[in-house]
Amino acid sequence: MIRIEKSMTISGVALAIVLLAAPSAQAQSADMTFFVTSNGPGKGADLGGLEGADAQCQKLAQSAGAGTKTWRAYLSTQAADGKPAVNAKDRIGKGPWQNAKGTVIAKDVAELHGATNNLTKQTALSEKGEVINGAGDQPNRHDILTGSQPDGTAFAGPDDRTCKNWTSSTQGAAMVGHLDRRGLRDDEPSKSWNSSHPSRGPDGGCSQADLKTTGGDGLLYCFAAN
């Protein structure tokens, strides 16, 4: 039982409550194994390749007290320059994954890419535990870079869907998903968390401004792979 001296002011009592609550909040953040980045590197879809994207996830996880885990961005790359394609689903570990509030979004890779995952606007929280703006909010930031098909695999063929494997901030296109599962139509792509539509815009499709015009901000899904 916590004893509060009569001499303590109301503000002192409030401060004591905050200090007592702080450890559990920190512990919850340490258990986080999934988040949406609160911000991107700022160069549109030029993330510095997969390595740069992973570093962004790691940096933000570190700031939230979860930096001891190995973090990976949920991104696919396409076959190019003699290098094979990389599938986003193969980069993120086995699960389960939970957000900064402790809510499980999927128990494994199969559930994550199935109809029963628990990824919604209310659960796709940032590393700070905050809800990301979605359709109907100003500004809308629900487009999340993935470069992936609905099953989490890379695109084949000549059409760019990864802004030159996450190195272009001008020409190209990046496949994005809707974190809030909402779009302009009531169809499966609009409701897809990882494969809704390609980016586009006057700068060529991959700039920060282009990503913003379709409802994005260069944000990523980050998963703890260990």
Q: How many helices (H) and strands (E) does the chain have?
A: 6, 8
22 token code pair: 């702080």
Single pTM value for the model? 0.88
Model confidence over 158-173: pLDDT tens digits? 999 999 999 999 999 9
CB atoms within 10 A of CB 120: 15
Say if residue 220's pLDDT is above 70.
yes
94 token code pair: 């086995």
Q: What is the pLDDT of residue 226?
A: 87
Say if residue 3's pLDDT is above 70.
no
How far apart are the C-alpha atoms of 74 and 88, rounded to whole Å? 5
Apex 164 CA angle, 184 and 192, nearest 5: 25
**Residue from 86, 96, 55 nearest 73 by CA:** 55
Model confidence over 35-94: pLDDT tens digits? 999 999 999 999 999 999 999 999 999 999 999 999 999 999 999 999 999 999 999 999
Q: What is the pLDDT of residue 12?
A: 47
Least confident of 101-115, 139-153, 174-188, 212-226: 174-188
Say if residue 130's pLDDT is above 80.
yes
> Dihedral of CA 54/58/64/70: which sign?
positive
